Structure 1
């Protein structure tokens, strides 16, 4: 059974108008207030010229108005695409405006970051979208909203990585979304359903915490942009709202789990998606929340959020499966001739059914390559999506993930194409060749390591921080390598003449990777900090004035840094300040001279997803 999001919402507006509908950070709306706010914005969109089937870009840092903008676009018979200021690469506003038929851009004029960035992108736009400032309170004329568009009309678009750095905007129809909502069978009690998503709304996994709960009368809770980098704030928000369903990537959940014990009275289900679930995380979950169900789900953007699962992880396993296809979805494990593989054998994973998206905006060639005719379907014209993932089915018929068949890799829940990162790095004037490999931390979290050959071996090589800064100008944060290792030449295997990835990986722990900066002139506090930085970053290639984010750090490793600082200087630097005090020198100036000595916990995650 399919459930249209807008139909479900309209039902809740009438059925439970005073029930809390949406919470983002410290702001909230009841269903009645959500009805009023989205209707007013939908009318503003119509007055601005938005027509059925067109796209509305919601260009804001995550807050309550982001959700209002999404739903208002639907009520105007249009579709939404959420973009956050400050994100580069395929998620930049300019790239999205080129890929989509955008009729309007919703900005927040109260945010000093937004109008300036929007102005630059809109100046280059050829289709001249209208700009609507959601902060400018207006009383639009009480015009009637349009009737529902065809079910195959777009509901939203989500950007995802392209192999050449060109954006792929996946367009999802209202019928796709309705099939996804109708497939949800998560147990809940009416009036007690409170979902919490620890994901940003620019990623489709976050929609697990929006579309289903709002369609059935639940409460949808999100951190705002100020909270998403602070795991303590995220956990406190979930606790204060009495969350019943917690949605996250495995990386983030591993860090948040010790802080969620206080949710035991209300928490019923944890849903993990976006990455493979490590078996030991299942054990950790059982220790902290033994009565809470742990679900693993899977689904590429092109198949509408998740379409396999949930797998209920409740027994010790070597591999945590993804589960079985959801209602309305088919899954096929095929060989290179599109023949089903034998049971227990790995094959290419193809997905079919009602959740398969329309394709990629303005990219018919790529759409035809990845969305192919479905020979197993009974209805004419059916398509299936080639995921590029390798999988096999266990003896119970549950599907297990066994990696990518191409060069894509997931870093903190974001799909990255290594070729796109390599192409950016090779555009640096000092780089001749580059190879990017996924590498696992001690806690099985994935980061990217870049190995590069200098264009001029006799010239002074740029510092890792300079290379990271160059990449950050063109890539999303998750795609910026955390390590940069210089090599004279890329190694080749003797037998196949292919790149010897194993030889490159050995450089990460060998002497070639230890290009440490002299610390002879550092103070004692700076040297103590340097040891902690080295432990978190897994290298010594930084100076006392290098920014943490420029030498392999990210918002996720900031928390690992904070945990270690807390062990030696309790309470000296709040985690939020580490984004401002982001050099060894600055942190040393803020710390007392005599640290306490207890060692940091041995099993502190180095990376996680927000």
Structure 2
């Protein structure tokens, strides 16, 4: 089920460990629907923890040790987390006033071992996790994703199961690509290959992919560019690489096709509000398209619409805003009913009354071949190395400094898949 190269767990062993962990957190008062923060170095323990929390009916809230303490504090307060699961390395990053802390690997609670599933009565519509993304008002917003959403992603037939036998887990837990890395292999009998803790440079990624015989992985388009330029042979034994987060470079794909004849490159697009992927585009050989690769066609049980300002479908090759509906549509934004109503709107084209669709803010068009092409944003949001960023949030932090009077943040695009933020600041006139 899972390996880090040194330790390997079968499905039975993973299940037993996750069940024991579920009983441990239930013993600490965690019940169905309770939020639990997760701040862990990447390890096999990460997989056990997430699976155990889901078995307990808890809602896991992934945190990143690189977050500022104030952001961690906000996420824990906003979710009402009653417990934080962490390890010795990550614990110092927690605020001093954090909720009850459970340090993994510490002395276990006394009592009989319990390897049977706790029977928490989890339903498909229950929340599985809350993941935070940048907010235009300067405050991060939490997206509530259900068990049904996760299952729909993991069981999507668009994933080639023979290619997803050994999937690399290397994305930060607070980045939604980790949902793909965990659940696509685990719900189809594959193996999760856990990368070493910390940030991976190209040489470490190369070593892990080759020595652990990884067959599929996700790389942000910026990282795909770097790997292609400096270590394309790292992907020679890989069957599928899914990429996105920003525009995927056509030139990068062409070079990869030349270096790795057995590799399929798939452009995977989707906001967190639609559970990681909403569209996909397996790039044909040879690639003869433009500078950026299309984002393709819908995943299974997903509907996409290209609409004008009055929610009317636009003709092919005409730019409109992309709306997404279907099995991956998240519940909405935690504690933000107004924002939820603004972005998760009624679907006038849905098969059932009350169906909703997500207004992405992305501008797209359908090309002559029937594939969606990304054309830009309808607002100020940008993507940098796969992370959604609202410039307003950065500007609010900058202007919070006593020496700065005004700030403007803009995105500079060096090439497809390579974006930098540039901040312009004006000092206070009092010097």
Q: Is 1:102 matched with 2:73?
A: no
3-state SS of paired residue (1:163): coil
Cα distance per residue 1:506-561 (max 9 Å; x no partner): xxxxxxxxxxxxxxxxxxxxxxxxxxxxxxxxxxxxxxxxxxxxxxxxxxxxxxxx
Correspondences of 1:327-476 after superposition (within 5 Å): 327-441=300-414, 445-456=418-429, 459=431
Equivalent residue, structure 1, for 2:156: 183
3-state SS of paired residue (2:357): strand
Structure 2 unmatched ranges of 5 or more:
none
Matches of 1:294 and 1:117, distance apart in 2: 37
CA 1:262/1:399 → structure 2, altered by over 3 Å: closer, same or farther? closer
Matches of 1:210 and 1:78, distance apart in 2: 17
CA 1:387/1:178 → structure 2, altered by over 3 Å: closer, same or farther? same
Equivalent residue, structure 1, for 2:167: 195
Contact preservation (8 Å) 1:48, 1:130: no
Equivalent residue, structure 2, for 1:465: none
CA 1:296/1:263 → structure 2, altered by over 3 Å: closer, same or farther? closer
CA 1:345/1:26 → structure 2, altered by over 3 Å: closer, same or farther? farther
Correspondences of 1:267-278 after superposition (within 5 Å): 267-278=238-249
Equivalent residue, structure 1, for 2:233: 261
Cα distance per residue 1:448-486 (max 9 Å; x no partner): 1111222228x4xxxxxxxxxxxxxxxxxxxxxxxxxxx
Cα distance per residue 1:216-259 (max 9 Å; x no partner): 11111232333x24221121011111111121111111222342
TM-score, length basis structure 2: 0.93
Contact preservation (8 Å) 1:52, 1:149: yes
* Greater share of strand: 2
Matches of 2:227 and 2:5, distance apart in 1: 17
CA 1:254/1:351 → structure 2, altered by over 3 Å: closer, same or farther? same
3-state SS of paired residue (1:441): strand
Matches of 2:411 and 2:217, distance apart in 1: 28
RMSD: 2.1
Q: Is 1:294 matched with 2:294?
A: no
Q: Is 1:210 matched with 2:182?
A: yes
Contact preservation (8 Å) 1:298, 1:308: yes
Equivalent residue, structure 2, for 1:152: 125
CA 1:167/1:435 → structure 2, altered by over 3 Å: closer, same or farther? same
3-state SS of paired residue (2:129): strand
Equivalent residue, structure 1, for 2:20: 40
Contact preservation (8 Å) 1:176, 1:357: yes
Contact preservation (8 Å) 1:177, 1:355: yes
Q: Is 1:78 matched with 2:58?
A: yes
Contact preservation (8 Å) 1:24, 1:221: yes
For the pair shown, the structure with the greater C-alpha radius of gyration is 1
Equivalent residue, structure 1, for 2:104: 134
TM-score, length basis structure 1: 0.66
CA 1:198/1:283 → structure 2, altered by over 3 Å: closer, same or farther? farther
Equivalent residue, structure 1, for 2:193: 221
Match of 2:251 among 271, 275, 280: 280
Match of 1:88 among 68, 72, 78: 68
Matches of 1:162 and 1:78, distance apart in 2: 25
Structure 1 unmatched ranges of 5 or more:
1-20, 123-128, 460-610
Matches of 1:149 and 1:79, distance apart in 2: 11
Contact preservation (8 Å) 2:246, 2:416: no
Q: CA deviation at 1:46?
A: 0.7
CA 1:352/1:59 → structure 2, altered by over 3 Å: closer, same or farther? same
Q: CA deviation at 1:118?
A: 2.6
3-state SS of paired residue (1:387): strand
